[in-house]
Amino acid sequence: MLAAHAHGTPQVVGRHELLHMSAARMAALIREGAVSSRTAVEAHISEVERVNPRIRAMVVDRFAAARREADRADELVRARAPETAAPFFGVPCSVKESFALAGMPQTGGLKARADHYPTEDATAVARLRAAGAIPLGVTNVSELCMWYESHNTVYGRTSNPYDPGRIAGGSSGGEGALVGAGATPMGLGADIGGSIRIPAFFCGVFGHKSTGGVVPATGSFPVPENEALRYMVSGPLCRRAEDLMPFLRAVAGPDGIDPGCQPVALGDERDVPIEGLRVVSIETNGTTRVHPELTAAQRRVADHLARRGARVETVRLAALRHSFAIWSSMLAAAAETSFHEMLGHGRELPLGRELGRYVLGRSAHTLPALALAVLEKLPTYHGARGQAYVAMGRTLQSELEALIGARGVLLYPPFATLAPRHRVPLVQPFAFVYTAILNVLEMPSTAVPLGLGKKGLPLGVQVAARRGADHLTIGVALELERAFGGWVKPTL
Residue numbers annotated as active site:
96, 171, 195
Q: How many CB atoms are located within 10 Å of the residue 62 CB? A: 20
Q: List CB contacts of 460: < 8 A, sequence separation 6 or more.
A: 200, 201, 204, 294, 297, 414, 447, 448, 449, 450
**Contact (CB, 8 A) for 38 and 67:** yes
Residue type, 455: K
- The overall longest dimension of the chain from CA atoms, in Å, is 72
Query: Rounded distance, CA 180 to CA 419, Å?
Result: 13
Residue 336, Cβ density class (10 Å: 0-12 exposed, 13-18 middle, ≥19 buried):
exposed
| Sign of the four-CA dihedral 415, 417, 418, 419 | negative
Q: List CB contacts of 307: < 8 A, sequence separation 6 or more.
A: none
Query: Rounded distance, CA 100 to CA 126, Å?
Result: 9
Residue type, 355: L
Query: Rounded distance, CA 343 to CA 345, Å?
Result: 5
Query: Rounded distance, CA 279 to CA 465, Å?
Result: 10
Q: How many residues would you count in the chain?
A: 492
